[in-house]
Structure 1
Amino acid sequence: MAEQVEIFGNSLVQHDQATRRATLALLDPEDAPNVIHHLELLAVSRGYTKVTARVPAAHIRHFVVAGYRLEAAIPHFYGEGETACFLARHFGDAPDPERMPLLLRRILAATEMQSLAGPVPLPEGGVLRSVEPAEIGEVVSLYRTVGVAKSAAVDDPIFLDNVLGRGDLFLGLWIEGILVAACAAIFDPATGTAELAHFVVLPEHRGKGLALLLLQRIAELSAACGARLLWSAARAYAPGINITFAKGGYHYGGTLTNSTSIYGAPESVNVWHKCLAEDPALAWSSLFLTNSD
């Protein structure tokens, strides 16, 4: 069964019978703390093993009292500088330990050794720009060639058409006319943030800094669109993408344990975030738009 979306009051809850997980994706302060009871009833009635929530720090106490634990945080996520807290509660008797703690620690240690990278040059014969609706077929082919690690629907033309239709960014890199890499920025106008997702690079083009090039350019475009903060949830067991975020000046915000399913197996994700005000060139770019942007 596909992921289901429910509205409780003015809050948004997503849940999936296949993964036995539920997520409070959007909390309306008026629904706290009643939504916590709703989440518990949902988990118990459906046999879900884990419930996660992203909530403003001002409301975390209600969740902690109900048995939730803090896994990650992003400062200044909401207006007036309020922190976004990523919480989780386990249901049932089965434990929910980190599957690969040693690998996770090694990857995080590697990210701590990285210094801020300079601008990555465009490769010879390369073109880096937003994907046009007529090019959706090329993007679908790219994701199908590389393989989709999780059910994000990025190899579905309808999904991609909706992404472009609602104003989100999909950035593509073509070399000699062939699409070799892509990523997306998913905007949240209510918070002024953008989630960076769906990074993909053809295997034969990896190790050339293309993911970092995409990260740098999509930050510029997101700032020009009015985003003030960028964040992402990167696969915890994939060293390349975590090192890329560290080189891009992003801060590690915590690890969401076993929060997603990769190739059918549970996997943790690392939360990375960056306030665009930290980079004056990006913070002011939205004020100096030109017709070429």
Structure 2
Amino acid sequence: MTKHDRLETLPCGSLVQHGQYNDRVYLMKATDAAAAKLPKRLIGLAQNQGYGKIFAKIPLRMGKEFETSGFLQEARVPGFFNGSEDALFMAYYLDDLRAKESESVNYENIMKLAKAKRNSGIATAKGAGFSFRRCQESDVSAMAKIYQKVFASYPFPIHESDYLLETMRDAVDYFCAEKEGVMVALASAEKYQQDSNWEMTDFATLPKWRGHSLGVRLLDLMENEAVRQNVKTVYTIARAASAGMNITFARLGYHFGGRLKNNTNISGQIESMNVWYKSPEK
């Protein structure tokens, strides 16, 4: 079984994920305690472990400290923290090759396709004969099988039913599409209630059922739930190489926030990721 990167809480209270699987340090949650020392602490960790990149998700107020330490802004999400403070997605490269994209032309072409579909909504002729619902704990085995079939690799162990159950009991809502009672597509909302934002993620559709707008319908379902719970910001980190996923978010009016270069181990390799965001009530 593949060993995924581990979560670690630093002495200052900040939460990171790091390891060789994604070959990076990912600052998932930054605290204000010792904020001025945090960039250097992350660089030291990456250097000691031989990682190629640091990916930091931080509040705007910390931006100067990270920039001074050599971090570059790759994406930005307005109002990420409770609708009042922006988030910066910052990068620090310890391996120069990690900062170079071999597929940049393809990524730009996909962005043109996505932006041409912006605000086009859900195709009414598609999705007939499918039902949509929130997943239950009894679904985790079927969910894991779908993720195993769709992704050769993933930054978190969604291929494992125990992980799905643990996250479902914590702060992740999973949703599925079914055809005649059989699960054929999935997505999830990772809920950060303290910051009033949700990450729309873990989209997977079995190959046989692609082309039915299941991803965009699941996204719409999750957005409606976010509106019901008064969430201020929803966002995603989507594969830059996936035309379908980028078009999905563009169709429902998401804004492009930037691209994270060679950021994530997904579908069998390290790939660049696009950040999309919106305020769900708008």
| TM-score w.r.t. length of structure 2 | 0.92
- Counterpart of 1:131 in structure 2 is 135
- Counterpart of 1:63 in structure 2 is 66
**1:246 lines up with 2:250 in the alignment:** yes
- Counterpart of 1:116 in structure 2 is 119
Taking the TM superposition and a 5 Å limit, the aligned residue runs for 1:1-293 are: 1-8=3-10, 9-79=12-82, 81-92=84-95, 94=97, 96-119=99-122, 123-278=127-282
Aligned pairs, number: 278
User: What is the DSSP-based 3-state SS (H/G/I as helix, E as strand, rest coil) of the residue aligned with 1:243?
Assistant: helix
Distance (whole Å) between structure 1 residues aligned to residue 56 and residue 110 of structure 2? 25
Distance (whole Å) between structure 2 residues aligned to residue 221 and residue 115 of structure 1? 22
Relative contact order (alpha carbons < 8 A, sep ≥ 6): 1 or 2 greater? 2
Who wins on radius of gyration, i.e. which is larger?
A: 1
Give yes or no for contact 2:55–2:89 (8 Å, CA) kept in 1. Answer: yes
Amino acid at match of 2:163: F
The offset of 1:226, in angstroms, is 3.6
Amino acid at match of 1:105: E
CA spacing shift, 1:96–1:115, aligned 2, 3 Å? closer
Give yes or no for contact 1:76–1:84 (8 Å, CA) kept in 2. Answer: yes
Distance (whole Å) between structure 1 residues aligned to residue 182 and residue 23 of structure 2? 39
CA spacing shift, 1:224–1:234, aligned 2, 3 Å? same
The offset of 1:140, in angstroms, is 1.8
Distance (whole Å) between structure 2 residues aligned to residue 10 and residue 61 of structure 1? 20
Runs of 5+ unmatched residues, structure 2: none
| 112-121 or 208-217: bigger deviation | 112-121
CA spacing shift, 1:180–1:56, aligned 2, 3 Å? same
| 90-99 or 46-55: bigger deviation | 90-99
- Counterpart of 1:291 in structure 2 is none
Give yes or no for contact 2:227–2:281 (8 Å, CA) kept in 1. Answer: no
Give yes or no for contact 1:187–1:227 (8 Å, CA) kept in 2. Answer: no
Amino acid at match of 1:171: F
Give yes or no for contact 1:15–1:22 (8 Å, CA) kept in 2. Answer: yes
Question: RMSD over aligned Cα, in angstroms?
Answer: 1.8
User: What is the DSSP-based 3-state SS (H/G/I as helix, E as strand, rest coil) of the residue aligned with 1:276?
Assistant: coil
CA spacing shift, 1:119–1:241, aligned 2, 3 Å? closer
Amino acid at match of 1:231: Y
The offset of 1:14, in angstroms, is 1.5
Amino acid at match of 2:141: G
User: What is the DSSP-based 3-state SS (H/G/I as helix, E as strand, rest coil) of the residue aligned with 1:208?
Assistant: coil
| 49-58 or 149-158: bigger deviation | 149-158
Distance (whole Å) between structure 2 residues aligned to residue 139 and residue 229 of structure 1? 26
Identity %: 27
The offset of 1:118, in angstroms, is 3.7
The offset of 1:259, in angstroms, is 0.4
Give yes or no for contact 2:22–2:263 (8 Å, CA) kept in 1. Answer: no
Distance (whole Å) between structure 1 residues aligned to residue 146 and residue 20 of structure 2? 29
Give yes or no for contact 2:173–2:188 (8 Å, CA) kept in 1. Answer: yes
Give yes or no for contact 2:80–2:233 (8 Å, CA) kept in 1. Answer: yes
| TM-score w.r.t. length of structure 1 | 0.89
Distance (whole Å) between structure 2 residues aligned to residue 264 and residue 12 of structure 1? 26
User: What is the DSSP-based 3-state SS (H/G/I as helix, E as strand, rest coil) of the residue aligned with 1:190?
Assistant: helix
Distance (whole Å) between structure 2 residues aligned to residue 118 and residue 4 of structure 1? 38
Distance (whole Å) between structure 2 residues aligned to residue 151 and residue 80 of structure 1? 27
